[in-house]
Amino acid sequence: MDLLLERFKDGAIDKDVVVQYLQELSYEDLGFAKIDHHRTARKGFPEVIYCAGKTEEQVVEIFRRLAERADRVLATRANPTMGRGVQKQVHGAEYHSVGQLITLGWKQTAQGIVGDVAVISAGTSDLPVAEEAAITAEVMGSTVTRVYDVGVAGLHRLLGELHRFQDAKAIIVVAGMEGALASVVGGLLDKPIIAVPTSVGYGAAFGGLAALLGMLNSCASGVSVVNIDNGFGAGFTAHLIARQAQG
Amino acid sequence: MDLLLERFKDGAIDKDVVVQYLQELSYEDLGFAKIDHHRTARKGFPEVIYCAGKTEEQVVEIFRRLAERADRVLATRANPTMGRGVQKQVHGAEYHSVGQLITLGWKQTAQGIVGDVAVISAGTSDLPVAEEAAITAEVMGSTVTRVYDVGVAGLHRLLGELHRFQDAKAIIVVAGMEGALASVVGGLLDKPIIAVPTSVGYGAAFGGLAALLGMLNSCASGVSVVNIDNGFGAGFTAHLIARQAQG
Amino acid sequence: MDLLLERFKDGAIDKDVVVQYLQELSYEDLGFAKIDHHRTARKGFPEVIYCAGKTEEQVVEIFRRLAERADRVLATRANPTMGRGVQKQVHGAEYHSVGQLITLGWKQTAQGIVGDVAVISAGTSDLPVAEEAAITAEVMGSTVTRVYDVGVAGLHRLLGELHRFQDAKAIIVVAGMEGALASVVGGLLDKPIIAVPTSVGYGAAFGGLAALLGMLNSCASGVSVVNIDNGFGAGFTAHLIARQAQG
Amino acid sequence: MDLLLERFKDGAIDKDVVVQYLQELSYEDLGFAKIDHHRTARKGFPEVIYCAGKTEEQVVEIFRRLAERADRVLATRANPTMGRGVQKQVHGAEYHSVGQLITLGWKQTAQGIVGDVAVISAGTSDLPVAEEAAITAEVMGSTVTRVYDVGVAGLHRLLGELHRFQDAKAIIVVAGMEGALASVVGGLLDKPIIAVPTSVGYGAAFGGLAALLGMLNSCASGVSVVNIDNGFGAGFTAHLIARQAQG
Amino acid sequence: MDLLLERFKDGAIDKDVVVQYLQELSYEDLGFAKIDHHRTARKGFPEVIYCAGKTEEQVVEIFRRLAERADRVLATRANPTMGRGVQKQVHGAEYHSVGQLITLGWKQTAQGIVGDVAVISAGTSDLPVAEEAAITAEVMGSTVTRVYDVGVAGLHRLLGELHRFQDAKAIIVVAGMEGALASVVGGLLDKPIIAVPTSVGYGAAFGGLAALLGMLNSCASGVSVVNIDNGFGAGFTAHLIARQAQG
Amino acid sequence: MDLLLERFKDGAIDKDVVVQYLQELSYEDLGFAKIDHHRTARKGFPEVIYCAGKTEEQVVEIFRRLAERADRVLATRANPTMGRGVQKQVHGAEYHSVGQLITLGWKQTAQGIVGDVAVISAGTSDLPVAEEAAITAEVMGSTVTRVYDVGVAGLHRLLGELHRFQDAKAIIVVAGMEGALASVVGGLLDKPIIAVPTSVGYGAAFGGLAALLGMLNSCASGVSVVNIDNGFGAGFTAHLIARQAQG
Amino acid sequence: MDLLLERFKDGAIDKDVVVQYLQELSYEDLGFAKIDHHRTARKGFPEVIYCAGKTEEQVVEIFRRLAERADRVLATRANPTMGRGVQKQVHGAEYHSVGQLITLGWKQTAQGIVGDVAVISAGTSDLPVAEEAAITAEVMGSTVTRVYDVGVAGLHRLLGELHRFQDAKAIIVVAGMEGALASVVGGLLDKPIIAVPTSVGYGAAFGGLAALLGMLNSCASGVSVVNIDNGFGAGFTAHLIARQAQG
Amino acid sequence: MDLLLERFKDGAIDKDVVVQYLQELSYEDLGFAKIDHHRTARKGFPEVIYCAGKTEEQVVEIFRRLAERADRVLATRANPTMGRGVQKQVHGAEYHSVGQLITLGWKQTAQGIVGDVAVISAGTSDLPVAEEAAITAEVMGSTVTRVYDVGVAGLHRLLGELHRFQDAKAIIVVAGMEGALASVVGGLLDKPIIAVPTSVGYGAAFGGLAALLGMLNSCASGVSVVNIDNGFGAGFTAHLIARQAQG
C-alpha cells in the first residue's frame, strides 16, 4: 500500500488506478458473492466458507477460487454432497463427516503430543461441535489434543485426563445441558478457556440457551464464550491465542 | 371426619352442623386473611406466614393466632420491625436477621453431628437463602449440617468438607451465577438433592435465571429444583424427605 | 479406596498402580464414549444411557458393556430400532414403547399394593413422560402406584383416587398446560412432591415453559421441579427419596 | 346521528356544521389531553382516567370536567394526594386507598346478597388488584360478592365459600404465583371466568408472567385473561357480561 | 347429592356405597382415559375431546362413549382420519375440515339473523381459528354471526360490517400479527370482547406472542384474552356469556 | 365522496345508496376474502397479496381480480406453483424465484444508473430478503441499485461500492447474524436507512432476534427497522420515502 | 479530500501530513470523549450529545465545544441541572423540560401550518417521547405538526385531526401499551410512518416490548420502527425523509 | 503433593495428617468465607474479591488476609467506603473510583508503549467497564493500551487509532447498545478479541442483552464474549492470553 502511494506520487500510476486497485483487486465478484482475497493479509487466513444457505454449486465455485490463491481452505457446515462436489474439483480436498467440514491443506495432529490447543467435550452428543473446533484449529496450523466424554457427572474421568492437556496454550470446552464443565475446568487451570455451549439437551435447555447463560456466568475466571454450536469460532480463536505464544 | 359422619348418621348432629363444621372450623376469618388451622393435620405443619406484601400488624396478628394453637410457627421474608413486633406479642419467638425469619419453637442443631439435612452454599452472598433453608428445616424438626462457601471455582474446598454431609438424608445446594455446584454435588452422591438457584450475579445472570436453567438441565441425576431464592421451599421439602426416613 | 491406600502404604502396590487404578479402572474408553463403571458405587446405579443423539450401534454397544458388569441397566429416549437392537444382543432386555425405555432387570409393581412412589398424571397426552418416570423408579428398585388422567378440570377424579397414593414416600406429578395439578396435590398431602412439567399444550404453553414456571411458583410447599418432559429425572429422584425411608 | 344526517339533507344544517360537530363536540381539548365525552354513548360509561404518568393537576382537571357531564366517574391507579385533590374539587367523590381508585357515584354492594359479579382472590397480597376489580364493577352498576384469601394451598377454604358466588353472572379470579386458582374455579363452575394474574411472587414469577402463562393455558374451559394486575379491566369486562344478563 | 345424604342417613344406603358412588359413577375409566361424565352437570356441556396427542382409536372410543350419554359432543384439533373414524361409529357426527372439529348435534346458524355471538377475523389465514370458535359456540347452543377478513389495514371493511354484529351478546376477535383489531373493535362497542391471538405472522410475531401481548395490553376496555390459536376457548367462553343473557 | 354527499343532499340518490356504496364498492367479497379495491386511492398501490397460508386457488383468484382493475399487482411469499398458476391466468405476470414474488407491471432498473432506492445486503444468504425488497420497490415505481455481499467482516468491500449508492433517496440494509452493517452504513451516510434483520445465523441468533435488537439499538442515527425477513415492508417504505422526493 | 490528494501528489504536502489530517482534524480529544466534528459533513448535523451516563461537567464541555463550530446543537436525555449548566455557558441555548432536551438554534414551528413532519401520540403519558421527536426534527430544520392524545380507544379523535397532517412528508406515531395506533394510521395514509413504541403501560407491556412487537408486526405497510422511547431517532429519521423531498 | 505422598508412605506422616493437610491448609475458614489460598498455585493469581453483596467489614478482612500471603491483591465492584476501609488497614492499597476496584501491587502502564493488551471502548458511558478490564490486566502483570470513545458511528476515529493497538497480544472491545464495534475490530485484525457487552443503552437494549447477542453472533472470526459489564473477566482472560506469548 505504501508502495502504491509512492508510485502514485511519482506519477507512475494514475489516481483512478489506485481507486480501482483498492476496489477490485481486494475482492473478486462472482455475482452471487464477493470473495475477499485480501483477508489472508488482514486476518492470517483466507475467507472461510459458511455453507449453510448456499447451493452446492456456489460452495464448489467459491472453494475452487480460494484454492487457486491459497494453500489452505476451510468450509464449514457442509453436507456430504458439497464435500463430494468439492473433492471432484479441488485436488487434495478432504471431507470430515462428523464435523461437517471440507478442508484443503489440513494436517492431522500426531498421536501422543500435547497440542497447542485442547478440545474437551462433555458428552458423545457434543462430538460434531468438538470436531468442528478441532479441525478448524488444525487447518489453521495448530496442533490439537482431543479429550472427549468427560462431563461433570463423572468428575474422575476429567481428572484422569488432566495431565494430557494442562500445558496447552488455549483450551476449548464443549458442553450442552447446563455447561458446568467450563466452570470446573476453569477452576482447575490458569489457561484461557473458550467455552462452546451446544444445543444438546431438551426442555428448558432451550436449544443451548441454558448452557450459554451458564458459561457466561461462570464463577471461574478466564472463561470467554462463543455462539451456541460455534465450534468453528472457538477453533479459530484458540488458534489465534496459541499463535501469540509462537511469536 | 369419620366420627362426624357417624354422629351425623346417628342423628346426634344435624346436617347444617356438618356443613358449618367443614366451613368454619377449618379456618379462621380475620377479614384480611383466612387462617388455615387445618393445615397441621393435612401438611404436618401449620400455615407458614409469607410476610412480603403484608403489613406489620397483619404479620403480628396472624403469628399470634397461630401461636395460640401450635407450638411451632414460622414466618419468612420478615423485616426486623416485624420481628420485633412479633417478639413483643409472642413469648419465645425469635428473629433470625440473616435469613429474615421469625420462629417459635426452633431448636438449633448441635455442633458436630451429621444432620438429617445438609445445606451447601457456593458463596458468601448466598448466605441469606441458605439460612432461610436451614432454619426452616430446623423449625420443622430436622437437624441440619451447614457447609458454606464451597463453590466450584475452588473444588478442593468442597471435597474437603464432603465427609461432613454425605450421610444426610437430603441435600440442599444453594448457588447463584451458573449454579454448577448442584451438578458437581449430584455427580458425587446418591442422595436426593434440592437445588436452589439464587439471584446472586449480574448481567446475563438475569436475576437467577441462568442458575435456574443450569440446575434444571443438570447432567447429574437426582437433582430437583425450587424457585429462585426460595430457601423456605427447599428447607420444607428436605424436611419432608428426611421425615420419610424416620418412618 | 481405604484398602488401596493401606496396601500402597504397605508397599504391596506401587504409586503408579494407584494412579492407573484411579484413572483406568473406573471408566472404560470405547473411543466414542467413556463408560463410567464406577457410578454404581458412587450413585447406587450404573450410568444411564441417554439415547437421543447417539447411533443405534453406540447404544447397543454401551448397553452390552454395562450389562456385563451390572444386573440392572436403563436406557432412555430409545426408539424401537434401538430397542430391538439391544434385545438381540442382551438376554432379558425389554423395550417399553410408551415411555421409550430399554431396561434390564426391571420388575413390574404388583397390582393393588401402595407403591413407595406414586406417579400422577393430568392427561392422557402426558403418558409417555409418566411412564418414563414410573419405569425408571421400578428398574431402580421402587414399587410404583400409577394414577393417570386426573387433571384439575375434573377435580373429583383426583379426590376419588387419593386413597391409592397418599401413603407413598414420594409423589411424582406429571402435567402440561398450566401444571396446576402439582399445587393441588401439594396442598392436600405432606409428602415430597416432584413436579414434571410436560411440553403438552400449544400457543403460550411455549413448549412446557408455562407448566415449568407454574410449578416453580407453586403456592403449595414441598414441591420441587425437574426439567420439562424429564420423567427419568423425576423417577430417579423419587427412588432416592423412597430409599431413604428404607434405611 | 341519523337525525343529524336527516337535518343536513333538509338543508337545516350545513355540511361544515356536520363535520365540525363530528370533530369538536365529541371531545374536549385541554391541550394536554382530549377528553372523549362521546364515550358514554359508545361504551356505556365515560372515559376512565388512568392516573399513572399524569400530574395531580391533570387528574383533578380531567375528573372535574367529566363530573360536569356524567354522574359516575372513575379514576384508577390514583395516589392519596390525587384522591384528596379530587375530593376538594368534586362534591361526592370518594377515595379507595386499598384499590387506589377515585370514584363518583359509587354504591357499595349490600351485605349478604349474591352479586352479579364475584371477585375471588388467592391471597392477602392480591387485595389491591381485587379491590380495583370490585369497585370498578360497582361504580359501573353491578353488585359484587367478595371472596378473598381462598388459594389452592388450602382448597377447603374455597369449597367452603362456593355457595356464596356460584350464581354470579361473571366471576373474576385474582391470583399471583402460579395462578392455579383460575383452573380450579373454572373446573367447578359453568360461568364466564375472567382471570387476573398479579405480580405477587418472586424469582421465576417474573413479575406476574408465571401466573399469566398459567391462566392462558388453563385446562379448564371458560377462562379468559386480562393483563397482569389489571383489576380495572377485569371489573369492566365482568360488568359488561353481567349487563347482558339484564337485557 | 342431598338425596344421597338423606338416604344414607335413613340407612337406606351404606357409607361405602356413598363413597363408591362419588368415585366411580362420576367418571368412567377406559384405562388410557377417565371420562368425566359428571361434567355436563358441572359445566353445562360434556367433556370436550382434545384430539392432539391422542390416537385415532382413542378419539373414536371416547367420542362413542360420550355420545351414548349426551346428545351433543365436540372434539377439537381432529384430523380428517379421526373425523372419518368417528363418522363411521357415531350416527349423525359431522367433520368440519377448516376448523378441524368433529361435532354431534351441531346446528348451523340461519342466514341473516344477528347471532348471540359474533366472530370477527382479521385475515383469511385466521379462518381455521375463527371457525373453531364459531362452531364451538354453535354446538353449545348459541347462534353465531361470522364477519371475516376485516383487518385494520382496511378499516372501512370493518365499519361496513358493523351493523351486522353490534347487537351480539359477546364478540370474538381473531387476529394474528399485531392483533390491533381487538383494540379497534373494543373502542367502538360496549360488549364483552374475547380476543384470540393467532400464530399468523412471521419473524418477530414469534408464533403469536406479538398478538398475545398486544391484546393483553389493549387500550380499549372490555377485552379479555385466551391462549394463542385457542378458538375453542373463545367459543366456549362466548357461549357462557351469551347464556347469561338468556337467564 | 364530496360529490356523493352533494348528490345525496340534492335528493338525486337515496341514503341507502350512500351506505351501500360505502360498504360494497370499496371492497369485493369473494367469501374467503374481501378484496380492498379502495386501497389504491388510499395507499397509492392496490392491496398486496401475502400468499403464505393461502391456497393456490385463492392466490390465483385474488391476483386475477386485482389485475382486472389495476395495471400493477404484487404477491409476496409465493411458491413456484402459485407463480405458474397466476402466469397461466394473467397475461404479463412474472415469477421471481429468489425473492418468491409474483408481479404484474414490474420494470427492471436499467444497469448503471443510481437508483432512488439502494438495497445493500451483508451476505449471500440474505439474497431472498434483499430481492423481495428490491422488486417490491421496483414494481411500485422506484429504480433500485443492488449492492450485495458487503458485510462488516470485509469492510473494504462496502467502501469500494459506496459511490454507487450514496445518492439514493432511501437505503435498505439487509443483514442477519449481529446486523452490524446497518450501524456502519448509518455512520457513513445522511440518508434514511431502513434496516431489515434476517433470520440468517444460528444458535444465539434466535431466528433473527439478535439482528433485530442490534438494529433497534443502532448507535448511528437515521436507522429505522422492519420485521425480521420483511423485505416487502422495507421496499414499500423505501418507495414511499423516495416518492416524497419526487413531489 | 480530492484537493488533499492532489496537493499531496504535487508535493505541496507530506504523506505524514495527510495521515495526521485524517486522524487529528476530524475529531477533538477531550480525554473523556472524542468529539466528532467531521459529522456535520458526513451526516448533515453535528454529533448529538446523549446525556444519560455523562456528568454535568462533561455535557457542558461537549456542548460548548460543539457550539464553537456549529450554529445548531442538540443534547438529549438532559436533566434540568444540565440544562441550566449549558445555558450559563452557551448563549442562546434553550432547555425543554417535557422532552428533556437542550438545543441551540431551535426554531419553533409556526401555528397552523402543515409541517413537513407530523408527530402523533396516543396518550398524554407519551408526551415526553413525542416532544423529544418533535424538537429533534425542528432543530434539524423541519417544521412539525403535533397531534397528541388521539389513541385507538377513541378513533374519532384521530379522524377529526386527519386533515391536519395527511400532507406531511413523514409521520411519526408515538404509542405505548399495544401500539395499535401505528397500524391504524398506516392503514389510512400512503406516507412513510416511523413508529416509536413507548414504555407506557404495565404488566405484560414489559417496558414497551408489547408495543415494539406490535409495531414491527403491523399489518399496514409503510411502517418502520425505532427503539422503545427513542423519540430522538424518530425525529432524526423523519427529518432525513422530509429533506429528500426538498431536494 | 508428591512429597507428601512419599512421606506418608515412609510412615513419616499419618493418613489423618494427609487428609487434614488437604482440607485445612489449602483454605482458611473465616466463618463467613473460606479463603482459597491455594488459588495462586492453581490459577496464577490469588482469589479475587467480588465485593457486591459483602459488607465492608468482610471485604476489609478478606483483603487483609490475602495481603498477608500475596503481594498483589484485587477487589472488584468496591464502593468508595470499602476502598477507604481497605486503605486504612493495608499499606499500599489503592482505590480506583471509575472502575470501582481496590488493588495492591498495581503498576500503571507507561505512556506511549504498545501494551500486551488493548482495551477499546465505544463510548464514554462504557468507561467504568473498560477501566475494570484495564486495571485487572495491569494488576495481574500485563501492560495495557487504552483506546476510548471510538464507536462505529464515527468509524474514522477507530481507524485513526488503529496503529496504537494492532500489535497487542489480546484485544478487549467494550461496547453497549448494538455492540457492533466488536465485529468491526474483528474484521480488521487477526488477534484474539474478547468482547464485553455493557448495559449502556435503553429500551430494547434490555440491560445489555442486545449487545451480548450481537457480539455472540459476530460475523467476524476470533471474537469471544464475557458476561455483560464483566470488565474483570475480560481483563483476566486477556492477561492469560498475553502471558502465553511470554512463555
Q: What is the pLDDT of residue C112?
A: 81
pLDDT of residue B162 exceeding 90, the answer is no
- What does the pLDDT average to over F180-207? 93
E144 and E112 Cβ atoms separated by less than 8 Å: no
From chain E, which residues contact C within 8 Å (Cβ)?
Answer: 22-24, 26-27, 32-34, 36, 38-39, 47, 50, 52-54, 58, 197, 199, 207-209, 212, 227-230
DSSP state of B205: G
Q: Domain residues for D160?
A: 110-246
F47 contacts E124? CB cut-off 8 A: no
In tens, the pLDDT along F224-244 reads: 999 999 999 999 999 999 998
Residues C226 and C125 both lie in one domain: yes
What pLDDT digit, counting tens, does each position of B140-156 carry? 999 999 999 998 887 77
Chains G and F touch (3+ CB pairs under 8 A): yes
Query: Is E34 within 8 Å of C154 when comparing Cβ atoms?
Result: yes
C224–B226 CB contact, under 8 Å:
yes
pLDDT confidence band for E17 (50 / 70 / 90) = low
Residue E31 sits in the same domain as residue E84: yes
- Taking contacts as CB-CB distances below 8 angstroms, the residues of chain H near F201 are 217
Report the chain D residue with the minimal C-alpha distance to residue G123. D33
Distance, in angstroms, between B9 CA and closest chain E CA?
Answer: 5
CA distance D172 to chain B (A): 18
Which residue is closest to D8 within chain F, CA to CA?
F9
pLDDT at D70 over 50: yes
Query: How far is CA A48 from each of CA A42, A45, A231, G222, H189, rounded to the nearest angstrom?
Result: 13, 8, 13, 37, 15
Same structural domain for residues F67 and F143?
A: no
Residues 6+ apart with CB under 8 A from A7: A13
Which residues from chain B sit within 8 angstroms of residue D127, using beta carbons? 32
- The reply to whether H170 and H199 lie within a common domain is yes
Contact E180, G152 (CB under 8 A): yes
Pick among H163, H184, H190 to test the A interface (most A CBs inside 10 A): H190
pLDDT tier at E31 (50, 70, 90 boundaries)? Answer: low
G234 and F224 within 8 Å at the Cβ level: the answer is: yes
pLDDT tens figures, D6-42: 565 666 666 555 444 444 445 666 666 777 766 666 6
- pLDDT over threshold 60, residue E200: yes
Judge if E92 and E157 occupy the same domain. no
Give the residue numbers in B contacting D (CB under 8 Å), as ranges.
22-24, 26-27, 32-34, 36, 38-39, 47, 50, 52-54, 58, 197, 199, 207-209, 212, 227-230
* H92-151 pLDDT tens trace: 999 999 999 999 999 999 988 889 999 999 988 899 999 999 999 999 999 999 999 998
CB contact under 8 A, A219 and B155: no
Q: What is the pLDDT of residue D8?
A: 58
Sheet (strand B193-197) strand order: B144-147, B117-121, B170-175, B193-197, B223-225, C223-225, C193-197, C170-175, C117-121, C144-147
Domain boundary at F57, F79, F104, which? F104
Residues in chain A whose Cβ is within 8 Å of chain C: 124-125, 127, 148-150, 153-154, 156-157, 160-161, 200, 202-205
Q: Are residues D142 and D242 in the same domain?
A: yes
Residues 6+ apart with CB under 8 A from A149: A121, A122, A123, A124, A157, C32, C33, C34
Q: Chain A contacts of G3, Cβ < 8 Å?
A: none
* CB–CB contact C151 D201 (8 Å): no
Are B121 and B214 part of one and the same domain? yes
Mutant choice from G129, G146, G156 vs D, greatest count of D C-beta within 10 A: G156
At D61, the amino acid letter reads E
Cβ contact, residue pair F210, H217, below 8 Å: yes
Q: Looking at the structure, do residues A60 and A37 belong to the same domain, yes or no?
A: yes
For F190, which of G212, G240, G247 is closest by C-beta distance?
G240
Alpha helices, H only, G10-154 = 15-20, 39-43, 56-69, 80-89, 127-140
Tell me whether residues B9 and E9 touch, CB distance under 8 A: yes
Per mean pLDDT, which range of A113-122, G149-158, G197-206, H78-87 is the poorest? G149-158
Least CB-CB distance to D204: which of B22, B27, B227? B227
**Residue-level pLDDT at F32:** 66
Q: Are G98 and G197 in contact (CB under 8 A)?
A: no
Q: With CB atoms and an 8 Å threshold, state whether H216 touches A225.
A: yes
Asked if the Cβ–Cβ distance from H42 to A189 is below 8 Å, we say yes
More confident of the two residues B27 and H219: H219
Mean pLDDT of E216-241: 96
Residues of D in contact with E170 (CB under 8 A): 241, 244
Least confidently predicted of D175-184, F46-55, G13-22: G13-22
CA-to-CA distance for H216 and H214, rounded, in angstroms?
A: 6
- Indicate the pLDDT class of residue E113, thresholds 50, 70 and 90: confident
- Pairs of CB atoms within 8 A across D/F: 9
Domain boundary among F104, F122, F138: F104
- D90, D127: one domain: no
Contact A26, F156 (CB under 8 A): yes
Instruction: Name every chain E residue with its beta carbon within 8 A of the beta carbon of D44.
Output: 190
Please identify every stretch of chain C with a pLDDT value under 70, giving residue numbers as ranges. Answer: 1-32, 37-38, 41-43, 247
From the list G163, G222, G215, the residue with the least C-alpha distance to F44 is: G222
Do G197 and G154 have their domain in common?
A: yes
Question: Which chain F residues touch G48 with a CB distance below 8 Å?
Answer: 221
Touch test C–D: 3 Cβ pairs or more under 8 Å: yes
Read off the CATH number of the domain in which E236 is found.
3.40.50.1970
| Final residue belonging to a domain, choices C73, C104, C135 | C104
Q: Which of E6, E15, E16 to mutate to test the interface with B (most CBs of B within 10 A)?
A: E15
Mean of the per-residue pLDDT values for chain B? 87
Same domain, H40 and H128: no
Mean pLDDT of the H224-236 span: 97
Contacts of A5 in chain G (CB under 8 A): 15
Measure C122 CA to nearest chain E CA, in Å: 10
pTM score: 0.89
> CA G212, CA G227: separation in Å to the nearest integer?
8
Cβ-based interface (< 8 Å): residues of B facing E: 5, 8-9, 11, 15
Q: How far from chain centre, in Å, is Cα H114?
A: 19
Q: Do B151 and A123 touch (CB under 8 A)?
A: no
Mean pLDDT of chain D: 87
Mean pLDDT of F188-196: 94
**CB of H226 closer than 8 Å to CB of H174:** no
Inter-chain touch E221–D237, beta carbons under 8 Å: yes
Residues F184 and F81 in one domain: no
Distance from CA of E189 to the nearest CA of F (A): 19
Report the chain H residue with the minimal C-alpha distance to residue G24. H160
Give burial (CB, 10 Å; 0-12/13-18/19+) of A239.
buried
H232 contact partners, CB below 8 Å, separation of at least 6? A221, H48, H74, H76, H132, H133, H136
| Alpha-carbon distance G167 to nearest alpha carbon in chain H (angstroms) | 31
Over residues A179-208, the mean pLDDT reads 93
**Rounded Cα gap, residues H108 and H134, in angstroms:** 10
C-alpha cell at H140: 495481574
Percent of chain F with pLDDT over 90: 62
Q: What is the pLDDT of residues E117-171, one digit of tens each?
A: 999 999 888 999 999 999 999 999 999 999 999 988 877 788 878 888 888 999 9
pLDDT digits (tens, 9 = 90+) for B67-106: 998 899 999 999 999 999 999 999 999 999 999 999 999 9
Query: Where would I find the H helices in B27-126?
Result: 39-43, 56-69, 80-89
**H137 → chain A, closest CA residue:** A222
How far is Cα E32 from Cα C125, in angstroms, rounded to an integer? 10
Of A101-115, B147-161, C229-243, D109-123, the range with the highest mean pLDDT is C229-243
Domain count, chain B: 2
Where does the pLDDT of residue A86 fall: very low under 50, low under 70, confident under 90, or very high at 90 and above?
Answer: very high
Residue D23's pLDDT is 43
Each residue's pLDDT tens digit, E68-82 = 988 999 999 999 999
Give the gap in angstroms from C-alpha C111 to the nearest C-alpha of chain A.
33
Give the residue numbers in H contacting A (CB under 8 Å), as ranges.
42-45, 48, 169-170, 187-192, 194, 212, 216-217, 221-227, 232-234, 236-237, 240-242, 244-245, 247
State residue A13's pLDDT score. Answer: 63
Q: Which three cell numbers stand for residue F83?
A: 407463480
Q: Which residues of H touch C (CB under 8 A)?
A: 5, 8-9, 11, 15
Pick A120 or F44 by higher pLDDT: A120
Q: H84, H72, H76, H71: which is closest to H54 by C-alpha?
A: H76
Q: How close is the nearest chain E Cα to the Cα of D48, in Å?
A: 9
CA nearest to A11 within chain G: G9
**pLDDT value for E46:** 82
